[in-house]
Amino acid sequence: MKARVHVMLKNGVLDPQGEAVRHALGALGFDGVEGVRQGKVIELDLAEGTSEAAVHDMCEKLLANTVIESYTVEMS
Amino acid sequence: MKARVHVMLKNGVLDPQGEAVRHALGALGFDGVEGVRQGKVIELDLAEGTSEAAVHDMCEKLLANTVIESYTVEMS
């Protein structure tokens, strides 16, 4: 089974990487890009029977810095 | 309108970041993590009327290194 975790900076936390991408897109001539936020996506191959709660635990302990980042988990 | 771009290393391309996460999860006692791939997610706030083709163009020109990375675009 697989899990996909998205980790994004929380709203209100400055995202210099996203800002850099926004500027670069503007410099390349792409108009109409009003904002960019960049985050991480982590795809986990899990043994059968691994619970979603275990994946949340992984996020809390390692994958996300919950002070400044939020995460979402999708199991499939 | 918004677009969400996922950029992942292509299959067969070594992912040392993902490997590091896999080892760290094992060291923390999470069994059953068989593989980890880490990629980027980029959320774009776009002016109304921006086409999906324009977002694909952004990916080809800036957001993804198409030699080693693949990308997917979701508009919403």
**What is the interface pTM, i.e. ipTM, of the complex?**
0.92
Alpha carbon of A40: minimum distance to chain B alpha carbons (Å): 5
Q: Domain B2-75, what fold?
A: Mth169; Chain: A , (3.30.1280)
Q: Do B63 and A37 touch (CB under 8 A)?
A: no
Distances (CA, A) of A35 to A9, A31, B8: 14, 11, 22
**pLDDT at site B71:** 98
For residue A48, what is the nearest residue in chain B, using CA coordinates? B32
pLDDT in tens, A37-68: 999 999 999 999 999 999 999 999 999 999 99
Domain ranges of chain A: 2-75
**pLDDT at site A41:** 98
Greatest pairwise CA separation for chain B in angstroms: 48
A13: left (phi over 0), alpha (psi -120 to 50) or beta: beta
For residue B51, what is the nearest residue in chain A, using CA coordinates? A32
pLDDT in tens, B11-65: 999 999 999 999 999 999 999 999 999 999 999 999 999 999 999 999 999 999 9
